[in-house]
Structure 1
């Protein structure tokens, strides 16, 4: 009789239960970090806790070599992360300029014009730390952990790892979008757009096997959106941005009180980021195909265990 919970041949829990265990531990880690009184420090601690959790689950729960985790830092990883930062920051700047020129927003003032705040740079630095942390740990969860496990879970019978990874992208992105549905001012359009953003963030990981581009894009999109240009970030209002704005124009275009992610302009931005990212990979001679993690079954990946340096 097949054990629905534990895979005796692979000597590990089945994919669904590994994912549920990781989510439970992820939520617990988030709770522990809230006990820290300094906001910026709590985000850093949260990132470290989740990195430790990810390492333990990926190595010992999933029984995979660490070099498949997408977090092996080298020059290429750093270059890809910085490219993601530049791509998303540039696109968010384009969104800002487009809305400004078309009357979708007006600039109220700049950070240094706030008479009550002489240290105007501090909130921006704090927000930078927060968004760097969010970009890291949300990508570790939503792409780094969910995608490989969902891919393995759906690799059944005639479903190859490549086909299973497509299912994993859709499912993980749907969860990613729905998870933002409880944010302030969320709408069905916002949820669908964030699902699309999940697909955009998943594709670089599926192609490269590295989380660098996904982390860089995620961080930069949030930071420039809220910390620099003064938009709401997934419905969350940001205090102390570099530019303070007042949102105008139709919500179907600008996203209104949720931010660009809930508007048509956000869809254009997401698709533009994806297109530029694929162009960047092509220009850096990265084959636009499936990385080894998403093209081989678990048994073949385990064959590389002896070559891994932990």
Structure 2
């Protein structure tokens, strides 16, 4: 009976830690809606509340790491010069990847970009702020404690595939998902999750995945003006779609549901797969 709960090192098995994390996270989600609504009714601006989801998942993560007698930094938040350098690298790669995708769509005549009359520097900076906390929330949730316990307990492939499926399902039914576009979008979301998981595994830090996620979303929405996972944003530019199929242009969902996004994600995954990483002691695990 004892072995059901404890491993050979007499530590609680990873499966129980996963259940604990999921339970605490669901409880935090149940608190999130009334808490955010109450703060809005008190006059707190929506922009100020953007970090709230990240703060709550970070608290859940902190509680689990404390119970394991590990520091919060153990999940990938060892903040320092190296962390910020990796985040900046990821930011640049994410932006360049999106520019390549949109450039390819433009080359085949799928879209033209024109300056948005409503563009402003404030829009660009607000987009960075908004998508920073989106990236921090989603990477802490999908590549943090939960992912790491799955890697330790069931292996890398199971962790990668199961979290990729969960990440894609989490976006199921977003606006702009119809027909073939829906299939391409789900495949790209799954590939994106594998890419971000590999970014963590190669660095054992959440900095690179956060930067990649931020750069991709920011360039797609607030720089180029496309939809991001189906949701509209005001960008410096705005896309004017030509008479091409949505599986090529991405349509309302955004360029991440274009076949070119699948190709770019696959190339980035291959590059990260071949890269040895920055944590020699962890290379065998990746």
Same fold (TM over 0.5): yes
Q: What TM-score, normalized by structure 2, do the two folds share?
A: 0.84
In the superposition, relative to structure 1, how do residues 22 and 148 fare at CA in structure 2: closer, same or farther (>3 Å)? farther
Which of 265, 268, 275 aligns to 2:263? It is 268
Q: Say whether the 8 Å CA contact 1:131–1:219 is kept in structure 2.
A: yes
How many equivalent pairs are there?
273
Output the CA distance in 1 between the equivalents of 2:223 and 2:19: 40
Q: Say whether the 8 Å CA contact 2:139–2:209 is kept in structure 1.
A: yes
In the superposition, relative to structure 1, how do residues 246 and 36 fare at CA in structure 2: closer, same or farther (>3 Å)? farther
Q: 2:238 — aligned with what?
A: 244
Does 1:110 find its partner at 2:115? yes
- 1:40, CA displacement in angstroms? 1.9
Output the CA distance in 2 between the equivalents of 1:132 and 1:253: 28
Which of 26, 40, 50 aligns to 1:43? It is 50
Q: 1:92 — aligned with what?
A: 98
Deviation sequence 1:51-110 (CA, Å, 0-9, x none): 2222122222x4434442110111111111100000110111122222223211122x42
Which of 51, 64, 69 aligns to 2:70? It is 64
Matches within 5 A, 1:1-310: 1-2=1-2, 6-7=5-6, 9-10=10-11, 14-28=16-30, 30-31=32-33, 32-33=35-36, 35-37=38-40, 38-60=45-67, 62-107=68-113, 109-111=114-116, 113-114=117-118, 120-154=120-154, 164-186=155-177, 187-238=182-233, 240-248=234-242, 249-275=244-270, 277=272, 286=278, 290=282
Q: 1:298 — aligned with what?
A: none
Output the CA distance in 1 between the equivalents of 2:240 and 2:28: 36
Q: Say whether the 8 Å CA contact 1:205–1:211 is kept in structure 2.
A: yes
The RMSD of aligned alpha carbons is 2.7
In the superposition, relative to structure 1, how do residues 261 and 51 fare at CA in structure 2: closer, same or farther (>3 Å)? same
Output the CA distance in 1 between the equivalents of 2:61 and 2:21: 11
In the superposition, relative to structure 1, how do residues 11 and 182 fare at CA in structure 2: closer, same or farther (>3 Å)? same
Q: Say whether the 8 Å CA contact 1:207–1:289 is kept in structure 2.
A: no
